[in-house]
Structures are given as C-alpha cells and as structure tokens.
Structure 1
Amino acid sequence: PGNIILKNLKNHFRVYPVNPKRDEIEGLKCYKNLYEIREAIDWAIISLPAEKSVNAIKECVEKGIKLAIIVAGGFGEAGRKELESKIKESVNGSCKIIGPNTLGLLMPSKNLNTIFIPNVKYKKGDIAFVGQSGSLGVILMEELAREGLGISFFLGLGNRLDMNENEILDFLEKDENTKIIALYLESFFNAREFFEKCKKISSKKPVILLKAGKNSDGREAIKSHTGRISKISPNLLRCIMKQNGVIEARDLEEIIDFSKALHKYKEGGRRIAIITSAGGMGVISADYISDFDELELAKFDEETIKKLSKLLPPFASCKNPVDLTADATNEMYGKVLEIVSECKNVDMVLCLLQFHPPKINEELIDIMKEKVKKVNKPVFFCISGVSNEIMEEAKKELLIYPNIRRAMRAMNCLAYRKKWLEKDGKARMEKMDGDILTLLKENGIKIPEQSIVEDEIDDISLNYPLVCKIYSNKIYHKTDVGGVILNIKNRRELEEAIEKLRKKFNEKIIVQEMINGVEFIVGITAHEELGKIILFGLGGTMAELHKKHSFRMIPITREDAEEMVNELEINSLFNGYRGMKIDKQKLIDAIFRIAKISYCKNSSFEINPLIVNEEGAFAVDIKFV
C-alpha cells in the first residue's frame, strides 16, 4: 500500500519516504527514521502493521507532526483495543489521527490522493463521500464517473480513533468544491451532534446518508468491520433523519441515483406528469407513484388538456399519464413535454421515450435536449430501444435512469428536499415558569378533575361517569394488571370499584372524571445517543392494533408535530371513524406544547393516555421519568 500512496503523491508534494531497509524508493531518498528528516513535516501516512504503527505515532508526536493517517487494520475492530489506547496516550491531542483501518483521503482539487488501491477511475466533481467503508467509496467513485459525475472529497473514516464524521461535516459545509454530501455510516461518533450539524448544512447542501446495521445480521457483521454498533432503531433513525433534512439512501444505487438528480436540479415538487407512447408503461408509472410518500400524480388543468387534445390523435390519452400511442412522432414528444411542463399543476415530468414506434428516430434525443433547456422544471427520462452509444451521448445532457422505479425514487428525493427546504426549521422556545402540571394547563392541555382516596369517599365531589385507578409509580401499565376501572356511573359502583382495587393492590386509589375520546401516548425520554426525544403514538387498546410510533429530537417545531401526526397514517380518526370526533389541530398543538414544556423545564415524562376529542386534549395519566 505504501508504494502506491507514494506514487500518487510524489509528483504533487514534497514527500519523504521512511524505511530503515531502503536507501531509495521511486527515485526519492529514503530515510531510516523521522529524526533524519531535517525539514518540518506537515503530515504522515503510516503504512505499517498495527503494532509498528503504535511506535511510528510516537515518532510523529516527537517530530511535531500535526496529522497522521494510519492505514493498517488489526486494531479495535479485531478486538485489540489496547493498541488504540496506546496511540491515544502517545498523541494526547497533539496530533490528529485519521483511521486506523482506513483507505485514506482524496481531494482532487488539491491533487491529494492517499488511497492505496491502484488505478481508481474517478472524476473531479462536486460530490463528497465520507464513509466507514473505503471499498464502498471506491465503488461509488467509479460508478459516479460512469454517470459523468465526480468527487470533490473522499475520506475513509476507518475506526474513528480521533477524527470523525462530525469534524468532516464542519469542513464540507464550508468547502466551495462540495455541493452534495454523501455518507456511509455503521455507527455514529456523536449522533445528536451529527444530526444537528446535518440540519444546519442541509439548508445549503443536500446530505445523503446510507446507515448500515438495521437488523441483527447487519449489526453482527459490523462488529468485525469497524467494531461499533449504533443503538438507534430503524424507525427512530428514519424519523430523526426526516426532522433534520437528511436524505435516506438504502443502498449504494440510491446514493448514485439521488446524487445524479441533485447534481442537475436543486429540488422538485410532488406533482408528477408522465409522458409515454406505451400505455402500459404509463399505468405502471402511475402505480409506482403511490409507493412514495412525497409524490402524487398531477391533475392537468382544462387549458393543458385542451392543448393536448388539439395536438394528439383522437385515440390518444390527453390525461395524466399522457399516452401518445404508437402513432407518436419526434415532434409530438417534444411539443407534449413543452405543454405539460407549462401546466401550473405540474412540478416534475417523467418522459418514457420508446424508440419502437415507426415514426420515432434518433433525432428525438436532440429535440428533447433543446426542450429541456427551456423547461424550468425537473425532467427525468427512461429510454428504451436505442444503442448504447446513443444512450451514453444522451446522458451527457439528459437525466436518464435505467428503469421507472429508480427514476421515481430520485424524483421522490427531490420532492422530499423541496418540502424540507420550505419548512421553518427554527424551534422557538421561550422561558417558562411553574411546575409541569401548571404549565400543561396554561398551554391548553386540560387535566381532568380528580381526587385521591385515603379512607372514606364522602368528600369526593366529581361528576359522573368516573374512572377509578391505582395511584402508583411502581406499576407502569395499570390497565394491563387490572388497575383501572372505567365508566363508573354512581356512588355504589364507585364504592365497589375502590374496594376491588384495595383488595388487589396495596396502593392509594385515585378517582378521576372520565374523558371520552381517542387515546394517544406522548412521551419524552433521554435516548443514549440522541439525547432528549419525543415519542408519539396511539394509546390504550388502539395501540395494540396500530403499533406505529413517530419520534423527533427535542426541541421540535409545530411542523414537526404535524408530521408526527401524519406519519401515524390515522386520517380516518379525524374523519369521523366509528363516530369519533377529534380536532387534529388541537392534537398537533398539544404535542408541540408538551415538547416545549419538556425542553424548557429539562424534564422527562410520559402522558399515557393523552385523550383528544372535540373539546381539546386531556392529560389523563402523567408519569415522570
């Protein structure tokens, strides 16, 4: 590896090879050790076995070198954490370390290449890649080059003994050569800090994350690769990425597809128009749209349909998807793209170019190139029936994907980014005085009238129907153990309920006015990696039927709260399902205000259930953590 790195660098930098067994390497004088070099050294690349790397770092520190890249593996990922500890002790903050177990660093604009894999086929460009897999980065660089895209920065993080992804994000945020940031991570050095930085950066540059280790097999594989496992569940991670504007990629293919789209277009809306000369392809495309959260089939206005009907044959479809049929011509395709893109109800266009109809020929590519230049909306292409040579030439100017599925995923990426950029990402948190219960009431969260039963019930003056339940911090889910009795209609039933609970539990009894509505759970807790987070989901018996939950990092915005409600996919509850009447806006307000109180008071608690009806939100049971 060392010889390959030396060849990469020697024509661009003043390089000093160090090897006690050689006098010369690649035409350069070779030194026995670092102390023989009289000049000041800026940084060192250590291409030695793990044990020898430890001694080499000591020399680097004594020489005053400020940056060292340790190439070798065989450290913490191989169960030898003591070697990493020795390096940390030697460095003690005086020298920054990249690695160990790293493929290296690449900055084409600086002619800096420490990658030890020979003949990597990459192009200079504006996409940065930071990852815990060097080989994955090499594959990405070569695939991007095939698509005509290039790299501005590459770094293999390795074991992250010192330098980590959060420090690199600080650099990439300011790097003028970088327009898109992509990462592959198996764990987070500091997850909360990572997402806070991503939120800041995403307003200026898109951030794409491929996070590995989503199941037990993947996490087990990580142990032998980089040795550190994240404890953030896939659903929690997805929610936090959405909150902070991070684009989720599920594989390397999606990083490439998303980068292609983001390189050509900054953003794109959700309303999609489809143009095809094969009706079946249009139907398949329309079906695909329903698989994506951020996309919908555009509805043409009357003016657009009128223009299309004048242009197309009477047996063609002028609605969306537009089917030109086998009677399509080059000019027809071009004119339809022009008409559809002018429709105010269309945000993006998918053109399915089939070269099989008899009146279509290679000139269609040039027509589309000219039309796309005049269209101010993203236009995606799937092309079939042309030679590889024509396809490669077309890729230079048109955004082409090999199939509908991949094109739709990239379109969804652009729509997601537009939606996030339009959000008001600032969480405004004013100072609050008072205890949690008082603040809940002051912020519109109602608390049902209640009374704790010590001995007699004569002094209870609550309105029936009532709820009777045990008053205990030891028992978390009171309903599961029979610690709650509902719908108590009179004094006799109340006495019976209290007696029943006293016989079963040695706890105090609380009597509360019964609230009808839909039960939810809102909880704030401290996550090991993310800090304070808020959970929202259905509560009570509904929770067993609908186990989906939504999460966000505290603090949140009102838009975050609205997204949390939408992510549960419970719109039927707001539309009178089984006679239920819920005010959605009051639910959103309640979530936002509960999060705000938690943040301002630095307190963790759970409201389960939070009952919501037409009148508002009621915190029926509050447990402090």
Structure 2
Amino acid sequence: MGPHYLTKLFKPNSIAVFGASERPESVGGNALQNLLKAGFKGDIYAINPKHDTVQNQVCYPNIESVPTIPDLAVIATPAKSIPAIIQACGERGVGNAVILSAGFEDKAGKVLQQKMVSIAKSYGMRLIGPNCLGILRPEIGLNATFSKNQAIPGSLALVSQSGAICTAVLDWAEANGVGFSQVISTGDAADIDFGEILDFLALDPQTKNILLYIEGIANSRQFMSGLKAAARMKPVILLKSGRMPEGSKAAVSHTGALVGGDDVFSAAIERSGAVRAQSISQLFAAAKALSHNIKINNNRLAILTNGGGPGVMATDRAAELGVKMPDISQDSMQKFNAFLPEHWSHGNPIDILGDATGQRYTQALDVCQNDNQYDGILILLTPQAMSDPSGIARAIIEYTQKTENCKPIFTAWLGESLVSEARVLFSKAKIPTFRTPEAAVEAFSFISTYHQNQALLMQSPAPADQVCKESDISGARAIIESVLAEHRTILSSAETRAIMNAFGVPITPAIEVSSANQAMVAAESIGFPVSLKINSPNLTHKSDVGGVKLNLTTVQEVRSEYTKMIERIKQEQPNAVIQGVTVEPMFKRPHVRELLIGVMRDPVFGPAITFGSGGTSVEVIKDNAIALPPLNQFLARKMITQTKVSKMLKAFRGLPEVNFDAIVDVLLRISDMVAQLPEILELDINPLFADEEGVMAVDARISVQAPPFSHKPYQHMAIHPYPSELIHSLETHSGLIVELRPIRPEDAELELDFVRNLSERSRYLRFMNSIQTLSPLMLSRFTQIDYDREMAFIATTKNKQDKNIEIGVTRYTTNPDGKSCEMAVVVRDDYQHQGVASALLASLIQHAKAKGLRKMEGEVLSENGPMIDLVKNHNFSVKPTQDDPTVLQIELNLDLA
C-alpha cells in the first residue's frame, strides 16, 4: 500500500508562501516567520512581486520563477487574487494549497470560492481552507499558520473548523507540555473536509490520538466513513458546538417533536466508536489524558484524597458520567486499616485525612494498585497546613517509576501557588494532572469510554434471520410514487397501512369512510368494539383536537359520534381538509405497553430512528433512544435498553414479560423500510402495543418527499446499509449451487468456522503467516465493513446437514489514493477446483469497476500456483516484487477489465 494521497499536503518537502511580507501584522508575514522559526526541514520559497528579499529570504515574483515545484502552496493574498494563483500553481504542477485568506463569506465571495475550487479540480489540486489558521506538523518543523504559538512534537492530532479554537488549544498545550503530530484548521472547507483528513490521520504512524472540533458537517457519508475508520484504530474525542437549526425538527409527527439535530449527531458519534465531549474544558481534559497514550479497558475508578469535599465532588461527577466506583474489598480494607488513622473514610473515595504524608499516599496507592477491581486511580490533594504538595508529588512519581505495569493514574492538586510546582513535576513525569477533580474524572471517563466502545464494536452480533427478505419493496414504492404524482406529501391511513404491510409490520386494519352510514357499515363489518379517528392530512395529533373516539359498541354510537366529531372539528379547525374518519377495531389485550417507533429526516445525517414510550404524552415524557439506520439485532436491542420504558417491558406487578424479539423485529423492518424508500421523510408509529404475544401498530403516519432526480441507492443515508441487491445464486461448472453475497456483521461465526476449516497451507497462502484462527479484532474488521469504501463477498452453500456454511471469500479495500484497491481471495480446501474462486473474483471485479476504481492489485506467494492461474485467467498481470522474490505483485487495469 502506497502513501496516502494527502501526504504531500500534510508532510511537504517544500513550501511556497504567497503574500510573504516583512510586516509582522500581516497574515503572510506571520506564516513565513512561523515556518522559519519552527525550523522547517524542507525548502521555503517566499513569493511577493514587490520584494527581492523578505525576512532574509530570497523572494520570487511568482510561482513560475521558483526553481523547483513545491509540494505545498500557502496562500495569504487578497481573495480576488487567489483564483489566478491557483491557476498558476496548477499549471506549474503544485499539487496542494493551504488558503489562509478570508473574504469568501458573502455572495460574491462564494462565487469566487466556487471558481477557485473548479480551477483546482481541473488540475487535480487539493485545498485546505479558505479562511483557515493553517496547518502544523512539528516533527518536520512545519508551522504554516499565522498563529503566535509554536507546537512541540507529540502523538496528538487536532482538527478544527475554528481557527480560534486551534489557537486556544495551542496556547493551552504550550503551557501544559502537550505535543502534536498534526494540527489542521479546515476553515470553510471548500474542498478537503473532515472525512478525508480522518482517513489520512487513521494511517498516520505519528498520530496515536485525535481531537476534533466541529461546527457543522457537509458530507455525512464521508464524515462517518472517515470517523469510523479512524476510531477503529485510535482514540477519537470530539467537541461539537451549537445545534442543528430548528428546521430539522419536522412538525408533522411526535418524532419530529422528540428528536433534534444534536440528538442525531450524538447518535452518529456513538455509532462511529468515537467519544463526544460537551465543553472546551472537557476537550482540554481529554487532550491531556490522550497525550500520555493511556489505555483503560474498563471504567472502575478508585479515588484517593486527603479531603472529603474534593472526594465527594469527584464522586458526583463520576456518577453523572457513569463511571463505576467499586467499594473497597475485604482484603484491601484490612490493608488500609493496618496503616491508616482510625477515622479514615472506610470507603471509596478513600479519604486518608488531611495530615497525609507522601508515605501514606504511596502506601494507599499501592493497595489500590494491587486491587483488581480498579482500572484507574485518581489522586486528589488539597494544600492543608500539614501537607507537602511537592513532596507528596515526588513520592507518587517515584512509586510509579518503580512499579511495573502501573495502573493509569490521574492527579488533581487543588489550589494555585502552593501546588504549582507539583503540577510541573507531574507534567514532566508524564502523569496527567488537572486543576479540578471534575476535569480529572472527565479525562478518565473519555479514555475508558473509548476503549469500551471498541470492545462493543468487536462484539459479534447474533446470526441474522433476514426478517426483511419478504418485503414488497416495488409495491411500496409504487404506492408512494402515486402519492407524489398527486402532489401529496401525507399518506392516507389506507396507504400508510399498505406500506406497513409491504414490510411486514403488524398493524390493525382500518376502513376509510366519508359518511355516517359508511361508518356504521364499516363498524358492523369489522366487528365491535371499534374506534373512530379523524381522517385529515392537516391534523397531526388527532386526540389533541378531539379526533379520536374509542370503545364504540353499537352502530347507533358510531353514527352519533361520527356526526358530532365532524361538525365539531369543522367548526374548530375551519382550514383543515376533512376527508371523513377511519373505522378501526379496538385492539384489546390486558398486558399491553404503549411504545413509539418513529423516523425523522435530519438535514445532515438523513433518516434517524427513534424508539421509546408511546401514547399521547410522548413530548412530555421524552423517553426515547435514537439511532442511525441500518440497524441489526445487536443495535436494535441496545437501542431498546437505553430507554426507561425498557424496564416496563420486563415482568412486573403481575404483567408478563413482553415479546422482546417482536419489538426488535419491527425496528429491523422499519430500518429496512427507510433504507429502501428514500422518499420517506417522516414516519410515526404511535402507539405500538407490545405484550407477551407480540406487537401491533394501532396508529401510523407517513410523510414523503420526492428524492433528487440524481439520487443513487442509499445516498440519503449517512451509513451505507447492507447491499442486499448484490445477493445472487449460481451454479458452478461442477454443479455446485452457491449463493454469493456481501459479508455482514452477523457472519462472524461463519467466518470464524471458515478460517478454522482451512488447511494450514491455505491459511499460510492467504495470510502469509501461520495464523490458526481470527482474533476478535480481526474478526470484527473482516465482517463489519464499510460498504462505501470496501467490499467482501462470501460464497455459501448447504452442507449434508442442510446448514449454511461459508466456502469462500474475496475482498478488496480501497487504497489511500482513492483510485486503486487491494484484493484477496480464498476458498475452503474441500470446495476448491469447482469454480467458486472464479465466481467470487468476477463479482469483486465487477463491484470495484462500478465503484469507479481504476486498478486492482495484490500480492501472491510465488509457490501459490492455483492463485496465479486464477488471476491470469481474469487478465491480471503478474510480476516479481523488487524486495522479495518469493512474493509476486498482481495487477488489473479495471478500465480494461
């Protein structure tokens, strides 16, 4: 795999500075000064037609006069001049530019920006900015910013849309000794945005941890793909300011009233495996902890303090963040009693009293260190009359340096003048230190939450039962298209029920009527008792306007209530279009709980699914969980358990436990529905009745909107769903019936069995080492793929026990250049030479071509004759590698395939 295509942008060997100046107050002057001061290790070319020299550097009039082609142009000239500069740089062959200049904010500026980007694209040139602070890479002395701060090398990357946040973090880091691998200010992000930057940082060996400051997302699919890729490999902590506009809250359903843009953003972050901070102080706390490369596998914390108050403050914050604080074990209690004064706290937090010395601190620290129920230790100190803050800090530092496999330690010395020296000592010793107990607990929480998220991501979901296989997608789409053709956006009750039925969602039947006589006939046909509900596209919440009547038991009641309802609503809601009522059977079972399932369309992340308490008071109770589709069983169950109503789904007060699987089933069907029908803008099932027998939707509402003319499959979603349209069956030349399909997370057990059933030689030829089985990390990586940037097809067939087994797999992963991919293919030994590998590889090649990739490549051991024959049959070129004659390089030009 070659270097990432953004490497020369973020790690340039040479830089041209447009707008270089002697004036210290100018942006260009500052940028050049910073490069010189930071000791950039490459060539620097100052460009300004008004000067021969600038800051003791030769100054060139234009890019054409520069002796060599720079990797990067840093531009700090007036906005109007920049399109011409980009044109000149493109013609000279400069591949990248950082545009520091502002002036693109108004309407004319946007036109200018569009022109600038268009010119850059025509030359394949990539841009950071405009209106950004710039970029830093301290390890190579790169400070291409106009900030007053320098930065020291480290392992922490910072990416921010706000230049002001960048300077604040840099200033704080300078004072706290925190170093950076890369700092990137995206500014207006006219070209390169978070997604591509995260791709680069995920593969950057210098970057071990990532901080993000976000104000808005332009491309949610690219952002989610990049974020998931990065968060799988290294901790990512982000802070987002502001909320989505109120316009993201639709007004036509309960769901719209419940879900705001910020809720959806949080759901997206949780799905990615990253961790979200809520304030700039929390971001600083996370940065400090990350800079020490601490790993915490669980979130059990011991708090050691010489004062009760700070211990309580830390405990309160731990409880708010869900950090566990286990009680002291019996063994540890005996050890503490042996050396602590009689009146110590005898609990966690462990208050060792105000006269604690360095020895008492280290003794207590040693007990916590050897207690397996703690994953980290927070040490607090208040400078009391008997305290020696610096001496105690030295004792703790000495203890940590002598102790092998020391647990992560966080410190908070409260105060200022009396504790400042101790803080410096901790910083030099690489022990995270904070000014407040709350900040220290937050830092612990961020790191532990990240590692717990990674453990969750590696969980193997339960096998899929393909509940949605029988969905009538074409029928549902035809109904929606007819609604849109009539210039309507709200589906009628009958149309809504038809869509539900098409996807197998249980829903009570309903008959639409427009007169009292029709209502009586319908009621008699359905069977009593029945309910009447107003049928109007303008009245969202029927019960709020008196548009619902329940438990009607005679035709006389039906006639009377129909007449009264219509007359009253026409009088009170004169502008509403009244189409009559729907007559529905009363769903009566003694043990039901009322739930809600809804969908709303977020302007950035697309459809979001919510689940929670149902009924008429949902906006007041606000008990709901939100997730982005596509869902699987694992995600659906997790979503349900996040709500308070989930406790009511269990057996309590004589009520039996509800059919949990039936609720999961409906969530999966709704997830499939919104993936397959991009026209759905909002969906509201309220109430969804659930009991021990199953579930039943009693009322539902769907609003729709025509997708853009150029809509591609799943383009409306932030996360690419399972591409079921790629499933196909075939018969190989040997007569073997095989199903070829994309791999899915639920295939973890199949994949594990497949690798186990490979011969030792086949495993060696595939992995080029003597791997025996897949680790949990490898298994999750192989099965939980991002269908937007990679693909894996598996071949399955039935064994003698009529059980599905995996007999082959092929996969490609897109290379950092975005144009080529690496491939691999392997077939189980007892199914080789039957055409399985050829069928798999043909499917892979076809998919890579459809994705717009230009080249497929890979490596094959020279002793792997069957693989070499296979790829030659599919027109791959085969040649030896320069470094190792036992390894052959294979390559296919997909444009010609």
Give the TM-score taking structure 2 as reference length.
0.62
Distance 1:347 1:444 in 2: 46
Distance verdict in 2 for CA 1:545–1:34, change over 3 Å: closer
Are the equivalent residues in 2 in contact too, given 1:341–1:375 (CA < 8 A)?
Answer: no
Distance verdict in 2 for CA 1:274–1:384, change over 3 Å: same
Distance verdict in 2 for CA 1:584–1:237, change over 3 Å: farther
Q: Does 1:447 align with 2:507?
A: yes
Q: Does 1:418 align with 2:451?
A: yes
Number of matched pairs: 611
Please, which moves more after superposition, 153-162 or 449-458? 449-458
Q: Does 1:394 align with 2:421?
A: no
Are the equivalent residues in 2 in contact too, given 1:432–1:601 (CA < 8 A)?
Answer: no
Q: Does 1:378 align with 2:404?
A: no
From 318, 328, 339, the equivalent of 1:289 is 318
Are the equivalent residues in 1 in contact too, given 2:393–2:425 (CA < 8 A)?
Answer: no
Indicate the residue corresponding to 1:228 in structure 2: none
Q: Does 1:86 align with 2:115?
A: yes
Indicate the residue corresponding to 1:336 in structure 2: 364
Are the equivalent residues in 1 in contact too, given 2:228–2:272 (CA < 8 A)?
Answer: yes
Indicate the residue corresponding to 1:480 in structure 2: 544
Question: Which consecutive unaligned segments of at least 5 residues does structure 2 have?
Answer: 1-26, 247-258, 477-496, 570-577, 704-897
Distance 1:440 1:302 in 2: 57
Which amino acid in 1 is paired with 2:182? F
Deviation at 1:187, TM superposition (A): 1.4
Deviation at 1:366, TM superposition (A): 3.4
Indicate the residue corresponding to 2:3 in structure 1: none
Partner SS, residue 122 of structure 2: coil
Which amino acid in 2 is paired with 1:319? G
Which amino acid in 1 is paired with 2:146? F
Indicate the residue corresponding to 2:585 in structure 1: 512
Distance 1:2 1:616 in 2: 68
Question: Which consecutive unaligned segments of at least 5 residues does structure 1 have?
Answer: 218-230
Distance verdict in 2 for CA 1:519–1:39, change over 3 Å: same
Indicate the residue corresponding to 1:76 in structure 2: 105
Which amino acid in 2 is paired with 1:332? R
From 389, 396, 404, the equivalent of 1:368 is 396
Which amino acid in 1 is paired with 2:440? A
Please, which moves more after superposition, 387-396 or 152-161? 387-396
Distance 2:522 2:79 in 1: 78
RMSD of Structure 2 on Structure 1 (CA): 3.5
Partner SS, residue 149 of structure 1: coil
Indicate the residue corresponding to 1:255 in structure 2: 283
Distance verdict in 2 for CA 1:278–1:70, change over 3 Å: closer
Once the two structures are superposed, what CA deviation does each residue of 1:116-135 show, in whole Å capped at 9, x if it has no partner? Answer: 234x2321101111112223
Partner SS, residue 15 of structure 1: strand
Indicate the residue corresponding to 2:53 in structure 1: 24
Indicate the residue corresponding to 1:226 in structure 2: none
Indicate the residue corresponding to 2:141 in structure 1: 111
Partner SS, residue 60 of structure 2: coil
1:200-279 mapped onto 2 (5 Å cutoff): 200-214=229-243, 233-264=261-292, 265-279=294-308
1:457-606 mapped onto 2 (5 Å cutoff): 457=521, 460=524, 465-470=529-534, 475-489=539-553, 493-494=557-558, 496-498=560-562, 500-501=564-565, 505-515=578-588, 517-570=592-645, 573-574=648-649, 583=658, 585-586=660-661, 589-590=664-665, 592-598=667-673, 601-602=676-677, 604=680, 605-606=683-684
Distance 1:458 1:25 in 2: 89
Distance 1:202 1:214 in 2: 23
Distance 1:401 1:213 in 2: 26
Deviation at 1:344, TM superposition (A): 3.6
Distance verdict in 2 for CA 1:570–1:77, change over 3 Å: farther
Deviation at 1:267, TM superposition (A): 2.8
Distance verdict in 2 for CA 1:611–1:73, change over 3 Å: same
Indicate the residue corresponding to 2:488 in structure 1: none
Partner SS, residue 664 of structure 2: helix
Indicate the residue corresponding to 1:53 in structure 2: 82
Distance 1:91 1:491 in 2: 73
Are the equivalent residues in 2 in contact too, given 1:125–1:151 (CA < 8 A)?
Answer: yes
Please, which moves more after superposition, 101-110 or 508-517? 508-517
Distance 1:600 1:161 in 2: 29
Indicate the residue corresponding to 2:328 in structure 1: 300
Q: Does 1:173 align with 2:202?
A: yes
Q: Percent identity over the alignment?
A: 27
Distance verdict in 2 for CA 1:616–1:337, change over 3 Å: farther
Indicate the residue corresponding to 1:134 in structure 2: 163
Deviation at 1:53, TM superposition (A): 2.0
Are the equivalent residues in 1 in contact too, given 2:273–2:457 (CA < 8 A)?
Answer: no
Once the two structures are superposed, what CA deviation does each residue of 1:501-527 show, in whole Å capped at 9, x if it has no partner? Answer: 566653252322324533222123443
Deviation at 1:327, TM superposition (A): 5.2
Indicate the residue corresponding to 2:342 in structure 1: 314
Indicate the residue corresponding to 1:5 in structure 2: 31
Are the equivalent residues in 2 in contact too, given 1:582–1:612 (CA < 8 A)?
Answer: no
Distance verdict in 2 for CA 1:531–1:269, change over 3 Å: same
Deviation at 1:154, TM superposition (A): 1.2
From 469, 475, 481, the equivalent of 1:432 is 469
Partner SS, residue 345 of structure 1: coil
Deviation at 1:48, TM superposition (A): 1.0
Distance 1:350 1:341 in 2: 11
Indicate the residue corresponding to 2:436 in structure 1: 403
Which amino acid in 2 is paired with 1:624? I
Please, which moves more after superposition, 253-262 or 14-23? 14-23
Distance 1:82 1:492 in 2: 68
From 377, 380, 387, the equivalent of 1:349 is 377
Once the two structures are superposed, what CA deviation does each residue of 1:183-238 show, in whole Å capped at 9, x if it has no partner? Answer: 22221121233123212321211222222233889xxxxxxxxxxxxx97222222
Are the equivalent residues in 2 in contact too, given 1:241–1:247 (CA < 8 A)?
Answer: yes
Indicate the residue corresponding to 2:693 in structure 1: 615
Which amino acid in 2 is paired with 1:338? D
Distance 2:522 2:69 in 1: 88
Please, which moves more after superposition, 466-475 or 537-546? 466-475
Deviation at 1:440, TM superposition (A): 7.2
Indicate the residue corresponding to 1:222 in structure 2: none
Which amino acid in 1 is paired with 2:269? M
Are the equivalent residues in 2 in contact too, given 1:77–1:159 (CA < 8 A)?
Answer: no
Are the equivalent residues in 2 in contact too, given 1:68–1:96 (CA < 8 A)?
Answer: yes
Deviation at 1:305, TM superposition (A): 2.6
Distance 1:434 1:584 in 2: 22
Indicate the residue corresponding to 1:220 in structure 2: none
Distance 2:273 2:520 in 1: 56
Q: Does 1:157 align with 2:181?
A: no
Which amino acid in 2 is paired with 1:478? K
Partner SS, residue 72 of structure 1: coil
Distance 1:143 1:449 in 2: 63
Are the equivalent residues in 2 in contact too, given 1:432–1:600 (CA < 8 A)?
Answer: no
